[in-house]
């Protein structure tokens, strides 16, 4: 479904992603792992074309989307949930959802506000509150819900568990599993290995902008030395 092929991404002159490749097949939940600064966020932004790779290709459902404006990528069915959530603070919860709304797309689930409030019951009570008045966890849920309003077929989640209370993390994990069971493809970046295992079966490990490992968690655990070399902090 999603193929990243040898991309090189830069911030100005800083070369951040080096010939990075990864792929995600339909229905998979893949965890993008790596230390701070490994390039996880940049990878997701490069897929979304918020950072345009200088070379290499990003293919989505077989189409080369490299260099597309971000709104076109979104309309093709890629949903992006940024690391810092980027809720519209002045807008109410309902209005935030409205910004994300896109027409129904063939082949993917069509989300309604009510369905999202079922997925994230906490949001339902706060629907008239302004974005900036929500807690960190609620903002994270809102950010995901807002992106789901675009009815994506593949979701890019940047550190959904970051800075959230443990209880809420469990809710979040349950929600992601629920999404997976509904057939949504997910690529999520994580620092929290425990969380990543709970929701995904596949891992991609990044280090300094290149892929070090790509495969199942089971295979990764078979070589603990290798695993800890790349993941221990």
Binders of ligand ATP among residues 147 to 206 (CB under 6 A) are 191
The DSSP letter of residue 182 is: T
By the rule CB under 8 A, 69 interacts with other proteins: yes
Q: Is 167 exposed, middle or buried (0-12, 13-18, 19+ CB in 10 A)?
A: exposed
Give Dmax over CA atoms of the chain in angstroms. 50
DSSP string, 130-176: BGGGS-HHHHHHHHHHHHHTT--SEEEEE-TTTT--HHHHHHHHHHH
How many chain residues bind ligand ATP (CB under 6 A)?
13
By the rule CB under 8 A, 98 interacts with other proteins: yes
Residues 83 and 45 sit within 8 Å (Cβ to Cβ): no
By the rule CB under 8 A, 128 interacts with other proteins: no
The residue from 41, 43, 108, 211 that contacts Mg ion (CB under 5 A) is 41
Close Cβ partners of 79 (under 8 Å, ≥ 6 residues apart): 147, 148, 150, 152, 154, 155, 156
Pick the piece of the chain touching Mg ion (CB under 5 A) from 4-12, 33-41, 57-65, 101-109.
33-41
Residues 195 and 171 sit within 8 Å (Cβ to Cβ): no
Q: Kindly state the smallest distance separating residue 69's Cβ from other proteins, in Å.
A: 7
Pick the piece of the chain touching other proteins (CB under 8 A) from 58-66, 87-95, 196-204, 220-228.
87-95
Pick the piece of the chain touching other proteins (CB under 8 A) from 26-34, 120-128, 145-153, 170-178.
145-153
| 36 contact choice in other proteins, Mg ion, ligand ATP, none (CB below 5 to 8 Å, kind-dependent) | ligand ATP
Structure tokens at 168: 């809420």
The residue from 19, 25, 63, 71 that contacts other proteins (CB under 8 A) is 71
Residue closest to Mg ion (Cβ): 41
Tell me whether residue 39 or residue 152 sits nearer to Mg ion (CB atom). 39
CA 155 from centre of chain: 5
Sites of contact with other proteins (CB under 8 A) = 12-13, 48, 50, 69-71, 74-75, 80, 82, 86, 88-91, 95-96, 98-102, 146-147, 150
């Amino acid at each position: 479904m999603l193929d990243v092929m040898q991309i090189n991404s830069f911030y100005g002159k800083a070369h951040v992603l080096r010939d990075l490749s990864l792929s995600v097949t339909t229905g998979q939940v893949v965890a993008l792992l790596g230390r701070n600064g490994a390039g996880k966020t940049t990878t997701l932004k490069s897929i979304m074309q918020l950072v345009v790779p200088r070379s290499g290709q990003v293919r989505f459902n077989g189409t080369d989307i490299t260099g597309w404006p971000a709104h076109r990528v979104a309309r093709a069915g890629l949903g992006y949930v940024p690391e810092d959530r980027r809720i519209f603070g002045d807008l109410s919860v309902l209005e935030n959802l409205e910004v994300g709304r896109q027409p129904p797309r063939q082949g993917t689930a069509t989300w309604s506000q009510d369905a999202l409030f079922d997925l994230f019951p906490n949001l339902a009570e706060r629907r008239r509150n302004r974005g900036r008045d929500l807690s960190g966890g609620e903002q994270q849920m809102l950010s995901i819900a807002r992106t789901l309003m675009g009815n994506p077929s593949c979701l890019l989640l940047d550190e959904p568990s970051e800075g959230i209370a443990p209880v809420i993390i469990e809710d979040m994990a349950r929600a992601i599993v629920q999404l997976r069971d509904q057939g949504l493809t997910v690529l999520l970046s994580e620092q929290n290995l425990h969380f990543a295992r709970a929701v995904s079966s596949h891992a991609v490990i990044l280090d300094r902008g290149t892929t070090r490992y790509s495969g199942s968690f089971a295979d990764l655990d078979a070589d603990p030395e290798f695993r800890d070399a790349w993941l221990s902090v």
